[in-house]
Amino acid sequence: MTSTNPEASPLSRRVVLRGGLGAAGALLLAACTGRSGSAAAPSSTAADGATSTTGDATSATTAPTAPPAAAASTTAAAPTALVPTPTCDDGDEATPEQTEGPYFTPDSPLKANLAADVSTGTPLHLTGNVVRTDCTPVAGALVDFWHADDAGEYDNRGYRLRGHQFTNDAATYVLDTVVPGIYTGRTRHIHVKVQASGGEVLTTQLYFPGEPGNASDGIYREECEMTLATAADGSQVGTFTFVLA
């Protein structure tokens, strides 16, 4: 770990708004809103990687695995059977771009259960939807997560706690992982890239409400906070809606 913030970088323009979305179950979704940048590839990788010793930043502009054509075709087969549009309060603003940081690794495996990668850490069950700014759901969207383990360490050689998935026909993703640890210079966070089939890549981060380090983290955005609750077994249950521009 570096002693300085390895992920500090200029951010895209910001619009402060919060959106909400009803998801499967009774959980509310916290929508991270704002206008994303226009470039498909993250433009802040050079700055992000300035303190990295991993070398990942040099390849960080590589887009994640493209969504399969099959995913799109499943939603286009029956034009009369529309996918229900999730509730969306502030669908006119997209989730803001956030730096990908120096620890992104392209070509992550298809994997929604990252918790199986590790033997320690508080379980985190995160669900949500991917929608457009008009609140229409985006089925078959790529959602690529990566984050540190509970000790604040990234796996920069393999794909531990790294994996991508595609939203189902209801535009829902489901991630099982563990609560990431904190490392120097950053508050607790989860990295993610989201991409509609053939669309631009949204690179952003998710944050934990009530985290002490949020206030002092220059990258942190309140709009990117998950909605979190603690289950009876002590695990965390979170929701978040991604809004694509």
Residue nearer to Fe ion on the CB measure, 86 or 101: 101
Q: How far apart are CA 103 and CA 182, in angstroms?
A: 14
Residue nearer to Fe ion on the CB measure, 2 or 87: 2
| Beta pairing, strands 28-32 & 18-22 | antiparallel
Residues that bind Fe ion (CB under 5 A): 101
The three-state secondary structure class of 140 is coil
Residue holding tokens 């990258």?
A: 219
Q: How far apart are CA 191 and CA 186, in angstroms?
A: 12
Beta carbon of residue 7, minimum distance to Fe ion (angstroms, whole number):
6
Count CB atoms within 10 A of the CB of residue 58: 13
The residue whose Cβ lies closest to Fe ion is: 101
Residue nearer to Fe ion on the CB measure, 101 or 121: 101
Residue nearer to Fe ion on the CB measure, 37 or 101: 101
Beta carbon of residue 193, minimum distance to Fe ion (angstroms, whole number):
13
Q: How far apart are CA 157 and CA 34, in angstroms?
A: 33
